Amino acid sequence: MKLAARDCSPLNPQPTVAEAAWLRTVAASVRAGDFVVPISGDRDDDEPVVYCAWDGTWWAGRYVGTLSFEGSSLTIAPRFGIAALRNWLFEATSVVLTESPGRLREDVSFIAQLLASVWAHGFVEAARHGLPALRRDVATKGATIRGRLDVAASLRLIASGGHEVVSVRSERSLDHAASDAIVAAYDVLRRWLPDEQWMPPRAKELIPHLRSVTGPRPRVPTKAELDRIRYTPITAGFAPIAELSRQIANRRGLAADIDANGETKGVLLDVAELWEMYVLSVLRKAAAPLAVKHGTREKEASKKLLFSDITGQGLGTLIPDAILYKQGNACAVIDAKYKSLHPSMNSPQGPQREDLYQMTAYLARFTPGEKRSSWGILAYPHDPSRPEIPPAERLGPWSLNDGSKILFSTLPHTSIEAVAKIKALILSLEPRESGQRQA
């Protein structure tokens, strides 16, 4: 049994009774996070791969990729097409995906191509100052001391009848878990994309140096082994690429070939994560002179909504995608929503109720004292199949009782158009700045 779907969309056609029973088992048994390969490392909580809505309609979640489970498979394609994901990826990471002759293939090979491009870009960026040669202690036996004397080991050697001493010296080496992970991931990607058009020349130059240390078939390290590595400031960039490599290497086929043994296999990409990265990148270009800070990495602002008057304990974590600052003060919050802004049976007004409450809480938490001048934008992807402007966007901005404003916006999939649209929105929400200068 092989099913196909598009992300964040109802299955078409809807599953048969037998297919629905299998999907129900997938929804209950398969945890998306076990199969998602992260691109940014800042993913939100996982959602179901598939789910059944209140009216009995089966939907695919926010992931694209393939999954096999108990002898059947599910392939989820991007609902806006390969070209949109390619544009988002290029804007967010500067990774250029090479098109196959004629068109990009809308199948599972794109997932492998996207992962390979992200991996190769990250590897080359991390190796800007060279390969991750890390210091480690090397023990040697001999008649002379090289480094520092290992007294205990030397005494044991002499007691056993030896005529040498043990010394320990520190040296730089590529022989560590990060190198193993990188080479193992490269081998997996090369098996799936043998033409290696995705490999930059610099990456092709560096891989043989690592392979000379790891050997032809390195063991895939565990996450704990990677976490124990102590990187230097220069080699710190290898930490995320080593973890990404481990995840790629553990998904050896990068495809969900049906396993006769019933083992669950697959690889998924979180499209909501990629959309968030795209919106953040576009926002940084459009918001100047306002300063943009990633909500996840913002250290100064508290991320709790409520605080106990007795203990000071926080309650209710809030992490917006971006906080904008004007002259050092938070003035706006931006949140990317990989959802539809058009009215539907589940959301007759367009925006989902929980998103409205979330943005209201963001403004209350992150822009205190800036009321009547603070604002928020909920950014949704434009749906080419529905070119009309959603009512929530057309009737904005919307005002809260305290005077702060909320805008809903559908952003184009090309960065130039998206930047222009966000610039116009910010200018419409920041009129006081020019007025004050003229005064």
Among candidate residues 201, 338, 200, the one with its CA nearest the CA of residue 269:
338
- Beta strands 165-173; 148-149: pairing state: antiparallel
- Return the C-alpha torsion angle 205, 208, 210, 213, nearest 10: -150
Lowest mean pLDDT among 35-49, 79-93, 167-181: 35-49
- Mean pLDDT, residues 63-73 taken together: 85
Give me the chain's average pLDDT, please: 83
Q: H-type helices in 215-352, by residue range? A: 223-227, 238-249, 271-286
> For the segment 262-315, what is each residue's pLDDT rounded down to a tens digit?
566 777 888 999 999 999 999 999 998 899 988 766 555 557 778 888 988 888
Per-residue pLDDT tens digits for 149-206: 888 888 888 888 887 888 887 677 788 899 999 999 999 888 888 877 788 899 999 9
- Residue recorded with tokens 């459009």: 286
Determine contact, residues 426/282, Cβ cutoff 8 Å.
no
- Which amino acid is located at 189 in the chain? L
pLDDT digits (tens, 9 = 90+) for 198-246: 888 999 999 999 999 899 899 999 989 998 888 888 888 888 889 889 8
Task: Report d(CA 3, CA 76) in Å as an integer.
Answer: 9
Burial zone of 283 (CB within 10 Å; 0-12 exposed, 13-18 middle, 19+ buried): buried
For residue 429, the model assigns a pLDDT of: 82
Residue 31 has pLDDT above 90, yes or no: no
Is the pLDDT at 411 greater than 70, yes or no? yes
Selection from 88, 38, 62, 10 nearest residue 277 by Cα = 88
Maximum Cα–Cα distance across the chain: 92
Q: Is 104 exposed, middle or buried (0-12, 13-18, 19+ CB in 10 A)?
A: middle
DSSP helix, strand, coil percent of the chain (3-state; round to 5):
35, 20, 40
Q: Backbone phi, then psi, for 144, in 5-degree steps? A: -115, 155
Residues forming beta bridges with residue 405, ordered by sequence position: 375, 399
pLDDT average, residue stretch 8-13: 93
Percent of the chain residues past pLDDT 90, beyond the cut? 37
Do residues 250 and 220 touch, judged by C-beta distance below 8 A?
A: yes
CA angle 219–221–226, rounded 5-degree value: 150
How far from 358 is each of 139, 314, 354, 377, CA to CA, in Å? Answer: 57, 17, 6, 12
pLDDT tens by residue, 329-372: 889 999 999 999 999 888 899 999 999 999 999 998 888 665 56
Q: For residue 365, what is the enclosing H or E element?
A: helix 353-366
Give the separation between CA 247 and CA 243, rounded to whole angstroms: 6
The DSSP letter of residue 12 is S
Residue with tokens 């999954």: 67
SS3 377: strand
Structure tokens at 259: 């396993």
